[in-house]
Amino acid sequence: MKNLAVFCSGFGSNLQAIITAVKKKKIKANISLVVCDRVDAFALVRAKKAGINIYVSEPENFKDKLSYERGIVRVLKKHKIDFIILAGFMRILSAYFIRQYKNKIVNIHPALLPSFKGKAAIKDALDYGVKITGVTVHFVDEKIDAGPIILQRAIAVRDDDREDTLAKRVHKLEHTLYPQTIEYLVRNKILLKGRKVRVNK
Ligand code: GRF
């Protein structure tokens, strides 16, 4: 079975959805590790409750980004991690890190990329006035929110949506789309050719 490391920084609702999918055997893989950059993240409570190994490492405690990331890579190697699942991890990984796990890192983004990259995607989509938004799961490369797209799902924006109401539907969608993508990933159903991704369901 493949070993997953889930990277989080905050609430961890996607982590929870992945934990549940693994428990229900919808994803046949081990969540071997949760990596977190904040001691106070609620995601850690979820990981502890599920009995998952945790590696908490705050970048402030390292002299630079490289030594911070080297610390993470050491732990990932120790746990023989096959795939890295970014789930609300609020840090940009360097080219060094990405090279270590080329095409093995995925991320979920709460908008239809390449629109609304960055941290405030849901608000940005709402403020822009789009009628359709959604969720994207993509491979992670050196550029931010720009790697090859694996899967996307769309939802309609309602006239009376506020950020919180729209966010609720976006997150609900994330919680099915991300476990589904990971299931394809661990079964080797995702084929990457250049920027193009084919999912053999
Ligand atoms: C999600 O909206 C995800 O798309 C984005 O960060 C958020 C994380 O939420 N990358 P949670 O910590 O999984 O609840």
Domain harbouring 57, CATH code: 3.40.50.170
Residue 197: how many CB atoms within 10 A of its CB?
Answer: 17
Q: Which domain holds residue 132?
A: 107-201
Q: Which of 6, 7, 8, 13 to mutate to test the pocket of ligand 1 (most atoms within 8 A of CB)?
A: 13
Instruction: Tell me how many domains the chain contains.
Output: 2
Could you tell me if 97 and 1 lie in one domain? yes
List the chain pLDDT tens, one digit each, 201 residues: 999 999 999 999 999 999 999 999 999 999 999 999 999 999 999 999 999 999 999 999 999 999 999 999 999 999 999 999 999 999 999 999 999 999 999 999 999 999 999 999 999 999 999 999 999 999 999 999 999 999 999 999 999 999 999 999 999 999 999 999 999 999 999 999 999 999 998
Question: Mutation test of ligand 1: which of 42, 136, 171 has the most ligand atoms closer than 8 Å to its C-beta?
Answer: 171
Give 119 Cα–ligand 1 centroid separation in angstroms. Answer: 10
What element of type H or E holds 5?
strand 2-8
Alpha carbon nearest to ligand 1 atom 9, residue: 88
pTM: 0.97
Query: Same domain for 131 and 200?
Result: yes
**Pairing, β 196-199 against β 190-193:** antiparallel
The residue among 84, 68, 47, 97 whose CA lies nearest residue 185 is: 84
